[in-house]
Amino acid sequence: MRKLTDRFGRVHEYLRLSITDKNNLKYSYNDSDIRTHKGLHSKDMLTKDELYRMVRIFINEFGFKKVRLTGGEPLMRKELPELLEELNVLKKEIDFTIAITTNGVLLFDKLSKLKRSGVTELNINLDTLDRKKFHKITGKDKFLEVMNSLSVALGYGFDKVKINCVVVKGVNDDEIPHFAAFAYLKNTNVRFIEYNSFGPASENDKRFIPVSRIKDIIGREHNISLKEESRNEVAEEFRILGSTGTVSFISALTGDFCDSCRKIRITPRGHLKLCKFSKKSSELDLKPLLRDSKYTDADICKFIAGIARIKKAHRPPPEEIIQLKAGNKITM
């Protein structure tokens, strides 16, 4: 078994696999709103067998320790139960973590099946604790469904259940203390994520709140301290005095955690991305390799190892990302 290492010595062991581009919520602050997104045709997406093969390659050949299934909304993928069953069999041969990021709308009825299928970690996207605001942000009155799912998930025996909250000025920044209190009272983890559409600077300035400001707001009401093992990680995690709950901060714009990056992304189209902000020209299209019988797993490994060597030390600066996105040279 080899390690997937780039030229800067970073060892990759975390696969973020997007299994669909479809979503059932429309986020009002997202400039890539799905109301203008028609979705991929099924033939343009990786099949269930292709998804499984890619996971098997990363686990068996590169020793990856974690696979996170995302979307879109991954629970909308019809073949998800079958895919998870196959991954669970693989997990019994070589142990690794299976995680899912979801908006929680479809989660309630699937919790038992997910648990039995080897899923041990859940991230639930939730940007408000107010029902009316949830409807305004997402376009759907599904707040109660999400909260019911979250409530049951917290007591269902998963190793980790985390809440992802994108903080947007004028939308939900008034709820920062409420989310911190939720983490404190429910003994769970809330991850505060800086908003950045990488759209026009004027739009970003109106909506952006830095992590430093979010920490200050929480610090007025709670005594928080950094967990040293999370220092310089993508999500720095802080203990809350008097609770087993924690808060984490993801500096999507102001932070620089590239030195500790160990993640590889695969899009629904089957494009391998070395970084969320990679140019399209640096992506590896895995679909032709997976659909041509002449390419063995060993051949595909060589392509993956080769592309990993061109990963850059750091992501582009925000102003360059804005230009790349405007020129359709980057997909996010």
8 Å CB contact between 12 and 275: no
Q: What sign for the dihedral angle of Cα 37, 27, 255, 248?
A: negative
The predicted-structure confidence for 221-233, as pLDDT tens digits, reads as follows 999 999 999 988 8
pLDDT at 34 over 50: no
Average pLDDT over residues 142-151: 98
* 48-72: pLDDT as tens digits: 999 999 999 999 999 999 999 999 9
Query: Domain spanning 4-164+261-326: which CATH class is it, in words?
Result: alpha beta
The domain spans of the chain are: 4-164+261-326
Q: How confident is the model at residue 88 (pLDDT cuts 50, 70, 90)?
A: very high
Amino acid identity at 121: E
Residue 317 pLDDT greater than 90, yes or no:
no
Give the Cα separation of 247 and 221 in Å (integer).
13
The confidence score (pLDDT) of residue 278 equals: 86
Cα angle 194, 197, 199; round to 5 = 140
- Across all residues in the chain, what is the average pLDDT? 92
Residue 327 has pLDDT above 80, yes or no: no
Dihedral angle of Cα 203, 204, 208, 210, to the nearest 10 degrees: -160
135: left (phi over 0), alpha (psi -120 to 50) or beta: alpha
Length of the chain in terms of residues written:
332
**Which of 117, 137, 13 has the alpha carbon at shortest distance from 74?**
117
| 117-143 confidence digits (pLDDT tens) | 999 999 999 999 999 999 999 999 999
What is the chain's percent helix, strand, coil content, to nearest 5?
Answer: 40, 20, 40
Which of the two residues, 247 and 258, has the higher pLDDT score?
A: 247
Sign of CA dihedral 244, 150, 48, 262: negative
